[in-house]
Structure 1
Amino acid sequence: MKALIVIDYTNDFVATDGALTCGEPGQAIEGRIGELIRDFLAEGDFVVMAVDAHREQDPYHPETGLYPPHNIIGTAGRNLYGSIQEIYEEFEDTIHWMDKTRYSAFQGTDLALLLRTRGITEIHLVGVCTDICVLHTAIEGFYNGFSVVIHEDAVASFLPEGHKWALGHFQNQLGMTVRKK
């Protein structure tokens, strides 16, 4: 069994006016993410929206001093970007929404348990940012014993250099599959 994990594909990370946007590179992968969601659902696979969740000016969160406020609970910035929000609303009863408060979708969540109870051994990662949240989720998935597949045409980042480095790291240092369409 396999699962698709869509990481942080929100207005704040992708929209042109997002609070912490990767802009055009993130916008360019919208169609491919939508296609993968529909493919996974059609095959009866598990789909997870792993969405960054912050409280404004949280003095205890380690990211508070690193980035401008983003993905604040209750704001439009946390909505999924573009057609991905529409797909989520269409399949809301099937797609699992999961708040996360750290880079990794595994850290402080029950993601590993959700996957294991469904017999899932292979996770596919898409979303943003390749060298931040996708990277940390991939590494923790690896250490939790899951086979990890990164869809190169469905991940993006702020910096092309970081994106390229992360794709190489997934494949060369972690032995993960980096899949091109």
Structure 2
Amino acid sequence: MNSLFNPATAALVVIDLQQWLGNQYAPYTSQQVVANAASLAQAFRQQESFVVLVHVSSKDMMDLPRPTLDQSPPPMNLSAGWDELLPELGVTESDHIVTKKQWGAFYGTDLDLQLRRRGIDTIVLCGIATGLGVDTTSREAFMHGYNLIFAEDAMTGFSEAEHNHVRDYIFPRIGRTRTTKEIVDSMGL
């Protein structure tokens, strides 16, 4: 076992790397995030560690939250296949797919159940966007008692300020932050 985590009791959880990705992210581009997440997924699969790919989906949009807001939400502009996972992730039969209806990957899904059944105690987390799906999922995981490792360069925000705020003020209080290379290197690959 290495000092960062035990691959036998760790899972990679990838948030919302699906066809509906915008182009306005910082500090990393969506292409950088997808490439780093794919590298992590490959490393986890080589170690026979659990890989969870999370995406948001809806058939009629009626099952998604619609809160009253002070400002209008951004337009969705969804095209056919918007909710499909990106092919760069190389989805395999051993991956667990979680379909969510809100920002966090735990509420209303079987994620916690599947992690506990496999004896998982540590989650390596990445995806888009740092301040929404990744942050919400990290807080849920923390409240469920999981150890967290954040792949800082395998996630990005809608702005650099958003990403940096979560990375600098939230993540240090609930887990450890590392680069993709540091995580993969710690696995002995």
Tell me the residue number matched to 2:106: 106
Deviation at 1:169, TM superposition (A): 2.5
Deviation at 1:146, TM superposition (A): 0.3
Could you tell me the percent identity over the aligned residues?
26
CA contact (8 A) 2:64 2:101 kept: no
Give the direction of change, closer, same or farther, for the CA distance of 1:60–1:8 in structure 2 (3 Å limit): closer
Tell me the residue number matched to 1:41: 45
CA contact (8 A) 2:150 2:171 kept: no
Q: Which 4+ stretches in 1 moved above 4 angstroms? A: none
Amino acid paired to 2:55: V
1:69 to 59, 68, 76: 76
1:146-170 Cα deviation digits (max 9, x unpaired)? 0011101100111110000111123
Alignment of 1:12-161 (within 5 A): 12-14=20-22, 16=23, 22=25, 25-58=29-62, 61-62=65-66, 66-69=73-76, 75-84=80-89, 87-88=90-91, 91=92, 93-161=93-161
Give the direction of change, closer, same or farther, for the CA distance of 1:173–1:42 in structure 2 (3 Å limit): same
CA distance in structure 2 between the partners assigned to 1:148 and 1:70 by the alignment: 33
Deviation at 1:62, TM superposition (A): 2.3
TM (norm. structure 2) is 0.80
> What are structure 1's unaligned runs of at least 5 residues?
none
Give the direction of change, closer, same or farther, for the CA distance of 1:83–1:133 in structure 2 (3 Å limit): same
CA contact (8 A) 1:2 1:121 kept: yes
> What are structure 2's unaligned runs of at least 5 residues?
1-8, 182-189
Deviation at 1:122, TM superposition (A): 0.2
Give the direction of change, closer, same or farther, for the CA distance of 1:63–1:10 in structure 2 (3 Å limit): farther
Amino acid paired to 1:122: T
TM (norm. structure 1) is 0.83
Tell me the residue number matched to 2:6: none
CA RMSD of aligned residues (A): 2.3
Q: Choose between structure 1 and 2 for higher RCO, CA contacts under 8 A separated by at least 6 residues.
A: 2
Aligned residues: 168
Amino acid paired to 1:139: R
